[in-house]
Amino acid sequence: MKTILPHNALSLEKSRPGRRGVRFEQAEKHASAYLPEAYLRKSVPKLPELSEFETVRHFTRLSELNYCLDGEFYPLGSCTMKYNPKAYDVLSALPGFANVHPLAPESAVQGTLEALYGLQELLKKVTGLAAFTLQPAAGAHGELTGILTARAYHDARKDFKRTEVIVPDTAHGTNPATAHMAGYTVVNIKSAPDGRVDKEALQQALSDKTAVVMLTVPNTVGLFETDIREIADRVHKAGALFYLDGANFNALAGLVKPADMGADLMHLNVHKSFAAPHGGGGPGAGPVGAAAHVAPFLPKPMVELKNGKYTLSGKMPKSLGKMKAFFGNIAVCLRGYCYLRQFDGQTFRQIAENAVLNANYVRAALKDKFNAFFDCICMHECVLSINPAEMNGVHTSDIAKRLLDYGFYAPTIYFPLIVPEAMMVEPTETESKQMMDAFVDAMEQIYTEIQTEPQTVKDAPHSQCVCRIDEVSAAREPNLRW
């Protein structure tokens, strides 16, 4: 009887005894001659037995199941996936970098240290801050590093009563989570109707218990604080430190310097702003910069240049210590270094301006159909929303799923929390007008469907290998086996 396997059959189902690719038996014998008898297998491993073609097709098919930036537009607000030059992958994987042993003596890794030093210096230049640590392995890890650095600063001044961290409701979710994890009481303040910090609410929350005020810039509704200097002054007057979450610094680089905005501490996401890939949970890098009065408390060691040699300085008596084994995620930092070297100077301004222009292009094109919640010029991302009562009962999640049928990844949805039925779109600076027009066109077609055949949108996606699932059962009774 013929067995017709579906094209998505498991490799184990396709397996047939003895089937295999090219084999170099002489070489195998030769290799096993070098292995001690005790380490040689006694039986054949239970792996699928496939021809080379079957194996290649299997993995090619798997690689295509995942939506990726190399395939299509990825408008996911807040968790940007932007252009990551492939050349930087090659450069960061050069054997001189990739094969370095983490315990190698400084004299043997001068090239790597030079690149890391260069990154520290370029980050200082683009932010105006006095020092940077490259240790944090992600944005949220950078926040934790920043908050612990702030604590070390207050402790050194014997200012132990500062137990609160103020976080506006437009902050990224990791900000309050970090403050809580570091043992602080989170004081949440509501933002003003224009989506920016309510200065009166901030003033009321500030006290001699405030350790840090954390501000996401641009905030999660894609807006820049118009009165940031005044906010910084109020924070400093209360004796607190001003922390900026600069994960989306691609909207600001070359336009403003955080030091001029009064920042005492700030993290940047190399894997968002400076070209390392983001998504899939990392790895990332979240360097933290500090103003001169806070810099001595940053983690150690840092890379220093002394008498023409790069060296790891552990001589930082006030440092909070180490935040990560060795020197951070070097391969990610190296990509950021390449990017900063390549685009240093005037080009940064153009990058930031393009990020802002692209987000506003999408916002202006869609705001009449998908309410732009804060109808004003935004920064690198725009927040759209809908009222399901006026949309034949269609919800934001339905639109997100329908976009998959049009070949687009969904924007971030239901975030920021302060916007009902939010859709957060971040085109990034590297997408073309044609691509954004195609996205806008898909959104407009979905809008028409909502008016004429809403059920099509409610039942979407129709073209994926897995379509509408029972989300409650999927969460409560997940069936994770084939």
Ligand X SMILES: Cc1ncc(COP(=O)(O)O)c(C=O)c1O
- Of 113 and 216, the one with the shorter C-beta distance to ligand X is 216
Asked if 245 touches ligand X (CB under 6 A), the answer is: yes
- Of 280 and 317, the one with the shorter C-beta distance to ligand X is 280
Binding flags for ligand X, 92-111, as an x/- string (CB under 6 A): --------------------
C-alpha 340/C-alpha 254 separation (Å) is: 11
Pairing relationship of beta strands 288-290 and 265-268 according to DSSP bridges: antiparallel
Which 250-309 residues touch ligand X, going by CB under 6 A?
269, 272, 284, 286
Whose CA is closest to 471, among 388, 397, 393? 397
Asked if 360 touches ligand X (CB under 6 A), the answer is: no
- Pick the binder of ligand X from 113, 129, 138, 457 (CB under 6 A): 138
Buried b (16+ CB within 10 A) or exposed e, 104-143: eeeeebeebbebbbbbbebbeebbebbbbbbbbbbbbbbb
- Pick the binder of ligand X from 75, 139, 258, 328 (CB under 6 A): 139
Whose CA is closest to 351, among 278, 252, 225, 244? 252
Asked if 140 touches ligand X (CB under 6 A), the answer is: yes
Cβ burial of 414 (10 Å; 0-12, 13-18, 19+) is middle
Q: Which one of 19-27, 134-142, 236-244, 473-481 is the stretch in contact with ligand X (CB under 6 A)?
A: 134-142
Pairing relationship of beta strands 131-133 and 288-290 according to DSSP bridges: antiparallel
Tell which phi-psi region holds residue 409, choosing left (phi > 0), alpha (psi between -120 and 50) or beta: beta
Cβ distance 129 to 262 under 8 Å?
no
289 backbone dihedrals φ, ψ, rounded to 5° = -105, 155
Can you tell me which residue has the tokens 């990509």? Answer: 335
Q: How far is the CB of 392 from ligand X (least distance, A)?
A: 33
Q: How far is the CB of 94 from ligand X (least distance, A)?
A: 25
- Of 84 and 109, the one with the shorter C-beta distance to ligand X is 84
C-alpha 301/C-alpha 30 separation (Å) is: 46
- Of 92 and 174, the one with the shorter C-beta distance to ligand X is 174
- Pick the binder of ligand X from 82, 154, 172, 196 (CB under 6 A): 172
- Cα 93 from chain centroid (whole Å): 21
Q: Which one of 105-113, 133-141, 204-212, 418-426 is the stretch in contact with ligand X (CB under 6 A)?
A: 133-141
Whose CA is closest to 221, among 200, 260, 248? 248
Residue at shortest CB range from ligand X: 139
Binding flags for ligand X, 40-79, as an x/- string (CB under 6 A): --------------------------------------xx
- Pick the binder of ligand X from 84, 248, 354, 358 (CB under 6 A): 248
- Of 217 and 386, the one with the shorter C-beta distance to ligand X is 217
> Computed over its alpha carbons, how large is the radius of gyration of the chain?
26
Which 214-233 residues touch ligand X, going by CB under 6 A?
216
Cβ distance 69 to 278 under 8 Å?
no
Q: How far is the CB of 6 from ligand X (least distance, A)?
A: 37
Q: Which one of 98-106, 155-163, 241-249, 360-368 is the stretch in contact with ligand X (CB under 6 A)?
A: 241-249
- Of 214 and 446, the one with the shorter C-beta distance to ligand X is 214
Binding flags for ligand X, 324-353, as an x/- string (CB under 6 A): ------------------------------
Q: How far is the CB of 90 from ligand X (least distance, A)?
A: 23
- Count residues contacting ligand X (CB under 6 A)? 15
Q: Which one of 60-68, 117-125, 244-252, 444-452 is the stretch in contact with ligand X (CB under 6 A)?
A: 244-252
HSE-CB of 393 using CA atoms within 13 angstroms: 6
Q: What stretches of 256-381 adopt beta strand conformation (E)?
A: 265-268, 288-290, 302-306, 309-313
- Pick the binder of ligand X from 174, 319, 360, 428 (CB under 6 A): 174
Q: Is 370 helix (H, G, I), strand (E, B) or coil?
A: coil
Token pair for 145: 């590093």
246 backbone dihedrals φ, ψ, rounded to 5° = -105, 35
- Of 59 and 83, the one with the shorter C-beta distance to ligand X is 83
Asked if 372 touches ligand X (CB under 6 A), the answer is: no
Q: Which one of 118-126, 136-144, 423-431, 458-466 is the stretch in contact with ligand X (CB under 6 A)?
A: 136-144
Can you tell me which residue has the tokens 């003596």? Answer: 105
Question: What is each CA distance from 401 to 26, 398, 456, in whole angstroms?
Answer: 53, 5, 11
- Pick the binder of ligand X from 81, 247, 323, 332 (CB under 6 A): 247
Q: Which one of 67-75, 132-140, 314-322, 366-374 is the stretch in contact with ligand X (CB under 6 A)?
A: 132-140
Contact residues for ligand X, defined by CB under 6 A: 78-79, 138-140, 172, 174, 216, 245, 247-248, 269, 272, 284, 286
